[in-house]
A = this chain, B = another copy of it.
Amino acid sequence: MKIKSGASSPTVPELDARVRRSKEAVLTVTHQMMSETGLSGVSIDEVSKRSGVAKTTIYRHWPSRADLLLEACSKLGGKTEAPDTGSFRGDIELLVKEFASRLRMAPAAKILPSIVDAAEHDAKIAKLLHAQVHAGIMAPLYEVIERARTKGEVSRDQNASHLIAHIAGPLVFRRWFSGEPLDETFIHAIVENAILAEQTVRRR
């Protein structure tokens, strides 16, 4: 059966815009619910109710609740630009401050533990967490280290992934595990440690 597009029917660009708007509304509500209750508290019923988007429409875009959660989670990382202050120390300092501030304030900091928890029981979510969320959030750190290497500020022998674990690890540890503050003294200690580690690799 062929349907002729009449004057009162929406055009293709209008339809596209509508689809985009409803998808955005669903993702925004999903994010809100994730930060309120964690992943386990998100139900399609409630997302539909709050976003005003029909359940049938939601299921047309995301075949299952897991697919919606995966897409919502995939938007969590990778919004920080790699800084370029002119020095490795300056760049690291800015990034550690930025991460600390996001860990203290951003809704994502409340959501991530429920993704980490879900990853323990679901291989798809684990893959998304490691390959997409982690890689996205850490991308500016990798970029800053790579640039410093090209400029000769950081030794080629420095293992970028080890260095990053020593920069981001202590922040993550305090925010989610010990509950101690991400204060100025602590941020300073992390930056000093990163510079020190790099100098030692160089001296070997």
Using a CB–CB distance below 8 Å, which chain A residues touch chain B? 36-38, 40, 110, 113-114, 116-121, 126, 129-130, 134, 138, 159, 161-162, 165-166, 168-174, 176-180, 185-186, 189-190, 192-193, 196-197, 200
Besides A159-B189, A169-B174, A196-B200, 20 other A-B contacts (C-beta < 8 A): A36-B121, A38-B117, A38-B121, A113-B117, A113-B119, A116-B116, A116-B117, A116-B176, A126-B179, A159-B185, A161-B178, A162-B170, A162-B185, A165-B174, A165-B186, A166-B169, A166-B189, A172-B176, A193-B193, A196-B197
> With contacts A37-B121, A38-B121, A116-B113 known, is A166 near B177, CB below 8 A?
no
Report the 3 A-B pairs with minimum CB-CB distance, sorted nearest first. Answer: A169-B169, A130-B179, A169-B173
Q: How near does chain B come to A202, taking the closest CB pair, in angstroms?
A: 13
Task: Give the number of times this chain occurs in the complex, counting copies.
Answer: 2
Give the complex CA separation of A192 and B129 in angstroms.
29
Q: How near does chain B come to A190, taking the closest CB pair, in angstroms?
A: 8
Contact assessment for A193 and B166 in the assembled complex, using a CB-CB cutoff below 8 Å: yes
List the B side residues contacting A192 at CB < 8 Å: 200
Minimum CB distance partner of A134 in chain B: B178
Contact of A177 among B36, B110, B129, B193 (CB under 8 A): B129
